[in-house]
Amino acid sequence: MLLLVQYVSPLGLLSALLIALVWAVPLGVLVVGVLGRLLRLSAPEQFDPERSLLASGTARTPGWVLTAAVSLAALTWQLRFLPALLMLALWLLALRTRYLYPDRPLRIMLVGVGLPVAAAVVAYAVLGPAIWAAVRADEWSTVALLAVPPAAAGVLTGPLPRRAAPALTHGLAYTVAAALPLVMGAVFLRVPVLPTAAIEVASTETGPAAGVVLGHLITVTDTSTVVLDRGGVIRFLPNSRVRTQTLCSGAARVPFSVVSVHGWPVEETALDWMMPRRPVTPPDQRCSGRLGPRS
């Protein structure tokens, strides 16, 4: 472990952390925004920024931060979570309208009822084939993620019962605060921070390559090449026996879902979908553990 910490760049670790967990920032901002506005609308006498972290976070978060959080989530969340983003955004808009314009019932009705209904109709028109494909593939989690949020977009557009609102909003906020770090940690631990390499090694200093060592390349010193192999063992390979070193592209993540929305896989983000595809090239056989062609 000390060897890994010594040779892994702190900047690389920080970059990997930010890239892997960028989705969590808008999630926290939006959940706090919804719960805080529910508390303020349902039990205004309990909305005390001096005593409640939820109320304090809501009172000190400007509208442009929420708008930026929605935009960031639209780019970094997988397609299957975008209906939930739509639901959260509609809740925020409806709660804000009720708070700012309590004397305009028509406006409240349009934003709190009309807009969620229209959004649900459009969402189901776009997602309908994907929902049906998920049903046929028995992907019930995908069905729930695509089908439930549009229907629930009109649920939390008004106040909760006054007595239940403080306990419910604070309880949900504490639950999210406790669960989110665990999920973030599980995601980050799967992020590779070292390059993957295939190293041809000879059995003697003068002989030809006899095998291939696959693993994560830690460092190369004057005398040895240090590799973390697939078994989790750190191996010191003498440089005099190393014949070739080949960097291998990371293995593509095997998708869990076969469902797509008009050609957009539900497990891809908008950024993934917009990025140019890497040209398909024959993989180097050394990255599969086989010796390369002899020169």
Percentage of the chain exceeding pLDDT 70: 86
Higher pLDDT, 109 or 188: 109
pLDDT for res 295: 45
Angle at alpha carbon of residue 120, lines to 114 and 123, rounded to 5°? 140
- The alpha-helical segments, DSSP class H, found in 153-280 are 165-188, 270-274
Lowest mean pLDDT among 17-26, 60-69, 139-148, 283-292: 283-292
Q: 230 with 223: CB under 8 angstroms?
A: no
Q: Look up residue 72 and give its amino acid.
A: L
Lowest mean pLDDT among 78-82, 167-171, 181-185, 271-275: 271-275
Check whether 277 has a pLDDT greater than 80: no
Would you kindly state where each structural domain of the chain is located, as residue ranges?
2-188, 196-249+263-288
Q: pLDDT tens digit string along 175-213? A: 999 998 888 877 766 666 677 888 889 888 888 888 888
| Predicted structure pTM score | 0.78
In the DSSP assignment, the letter for residue 274 is H
Measured distance CA(147)–CA(162) in Å, rounded: 30
Residues facing 264 on adjacent strands: 261
Tell me how many helices (H) and strands (E) the chain has.
11, 7
Separation in Å, CA 104 to CA 96, 117, 139, 153, 224: 13, 19, 43, 21, 75
Q: Quick one: which H or E segment has residue 6? A: helix 2-7
Q: On the CB side of 189, how many CA atoms lie within 13 Å of its CA?
A: 6
Measured distance CA(248)–CA(286) in Å, rounded: 9
Residue 253 CA from chain centroid, whole number:
14
Q: pLDDT tens digit string along 54-77? A: 999 999 999 999 999 999 999 999
Check whether 254 has a pLDDT greater than 60: no
pLDDT for res 187: 73
Separation in Å, CA 139 to CA 128, 136, 143, 146: 14, 8, 6, 11
**CA-only gyration radius of the chain, Å:** 26
The token pair at 21 is 């967990």
In the DSSP assignment, the letter for residue 231 is T
How many other C-beta atoms lie within 10 A of the C-beta of residue 46?
18
- What average pLDDT does range 122-148 have in this prediction? 94
pLDDT confidence tier of residue 38, bands split at 50, 70 and 90: very high
Check whether 98 has a pLDDT greater than 50: yes
What's the mean per-residue pLDDT of the chain?
Answer: 85
Measured distance CA(161)–CA(43) in Å, rounded: 8
In the DSSP assignment, the letter for residue 154 is T
Q: On the CB side of 222, how many CA atoms lie within 13 Å of its CA?
A: 0
The CATH architecture assigned to 196-249+263-288 reads Roll (2.30)
Residue 145, exposed/middle/buried by CB under 10 A (0-12, 13-18, 19+)?
A: buried
Higher pLDDT, 277 or 66: 66
Higher pLDDT, 132 or 6: 132
